[in-house]
Amino acid sequence: MRLIATLVLLLALPAQAQTARLVVPFPPGGGPDVLARLIAPGIGENLGMTLVVDNRPGANGIIAAENVMRSAPDGTALFLADTSHYAINPHLRANLPYDPLKDFVAVIEATKSQLYYTVGAAVPANSLQELVALSKARPTGLLYGSSGSGSVAHLAMELLKLESGGNFVHVPYKGVAQVVPAVLSGDVAVVVSGPAALLAHHKAGRLRMLATPNPDRWAGLPDVPTAAEAGFPGVRMDITIGILAPAGTSADIVRRLNDAAGKALRAPDVNAKLTSSGLAVIAGTPGQFADSIRRQLDAYGKLVKASGAKVD
C-alpha cells in the first residue's frame, strides 16, 4: 500500500519535478533551520524525491513567503513558517503582501518552540526581575537584539516591556546567526532566541538564559523558570513552526505531504534530536494546523494591539 501511495503522489506532482524545496525564512543556525535540515531528508525519502533546504532570510519572512506563494501549487515549493509569519506579521504590517489564510494551505504544524530571555555574561542580572530593574535604572535603557522586526523574539520583549515597565530598546538583526554574536560581544545586552543557538554558550558561561515566556519549563533546562514563575504572570507565548504550501495545492497533495512530514517528524532519531534542541513535535493534521493558525491570529492580534509593538 505504501508503494501505491508513493506512486500516486508522484503522479500527482509534475513528472519533471524530482527535487522540491523547503524554503526557510531564516539564515542557517536557528531552531527553524535545525528543524528543516533534520526533517527534509525524511520527507524527501517518504515522497520518493529530493527535498532541499532553501534559506531565504530577510524582511521577517516576507521574502520567503512571497517566493513560495508565487510558486506552482504542485507540492514542490513549501514554506517552513513560524508564529511570527502566520500570526504576528498580519497585525504588525499594514501592507503585508500575503495573507496566511488566503495565500497558503496548511500542511502540518510541526513543532512547538522554546524561547529564552538571555543576557551576555557581563550584564549584571541573574534573573528576569534583576534584568527589568537594571533596564529601569539606566536612563537610555538596555539594548536587546531580535531575529528581526515583527519576529516572535521582538514581540516577546515587547510583551515583557508591557508587563514590567522595563526600558528596553530594540535592535533588529537579519537572524539568530547575527544576533547571538552581538550579545556575546556586548553590542546588545539581551537576546531572545531558542536553545539551539544559545545552549552551548549558556553552559560555557558566555551567556545566561534567565527565563522563558513559554507556559512550561523545558526539560533540557529544568532550572530555568518560566516568566510567570519569575514574577511576570502576564508574560506567556505559545510558539509553533509549521509547513505551508501555496494556495491552490490540491487536497490530495496536501494529505500526502502531511503524511510524509509526519513520518519524518516522528522518526525516533529525529524526534530525539528535535527534543534536545528545544522543539516538541506536534505533527497534527492539516485541519488542526489551519485551526491553530486562526487561534494564533486572534491571540497575537490582541497582544500586538495591547503591547503597541511596531515594525521599525
Average pLDDT, the chain: 91
Domain spanning 2-113+239-307, CATH architecture: 3-Layer(aba) Sandwich (3.40)
**Whether residue 52 has pLDDT greater than 70:** yes
Which of 78, 85, 25 minimizes the C-alpha distance to 52?
Answer: 78
pLDDT of 4 > 50? The answer is no
CATH topology of domain 120-211: D-Maltodextrin-Binding Protein; domain 2 (3.40.190)
| C-alpha to C-alpha distance for 47 and 226, rounded to whole angstroms | 39
Q: Three cell numbers at 31? A: 531552531
Phi-psi region of 61 (alpha: psi -120 to 50; beta: other; left: phi over 0): left
Quickly tell me which residue has 504542485 as its cell. Answer: 74
How is the chain split among helix, strand and coil, in percent rounded to 5? Answer: 45, 20, 35
C-beta of residue 281 within 8 angstroms of C-beta of residue 271: yes
> What is the DSSP code (8-state) at residue 267?
S
Residue 59 vs residue 251, higher pLDDT: 251
Report the alpha-carbon distance of residue 72 to residue 161 in Å, rounded: 42
List, for residues 295-308, the tens digit of each pLDDT value.
Answer: 999 999 988 888 77
User: Is 294 or 1 the better-scoring residue by pLDDT?
Assistant: 294
Return the top range by mean pLDDT from 4-13, 66-75, 272-281: 66-75
Nearest to 135 by CA among 124, 145, 122, 146: 124
Q: DSSP label at 126?
A: S
Q: Is the pLDDT of residue 2 over 50?
A: no
Find the mean pLDDT for residues 251-259: 97
Task: Reply yes or no on whether the pLDDT at 36 is more than 90.
Answer: yes
Give Cα 270 distance to the centre of its chain: 18
pLDDT digits (tens, 9 = 90+) for 149-160: 778 888 899 999
Q: Which DSSP symbol is given to 170?
A: E
The domain spans of the chain are 2-113+239-307, 120-211
Q: For the whole model, what pTM was predicted?
A: 0.81
Would you say the CATH fold of 120-211 matches that of 2-113+239-307? Answer: yes
Tens-digit pLDDT profile for residues 87-142: 999 998 888 999 999 999 999 999 998 999 999 999 999 999 999 999 999 999 99
Q: Among 239, 235, 240, which Cα is nearest to 213's? A: 235
Strand partners, 172: 146
Cα torsion through 305, 228, 118, 207, rounded to 10: 180
Judge whether 60 and 89 are in contact, CB under 8 Å.
yes
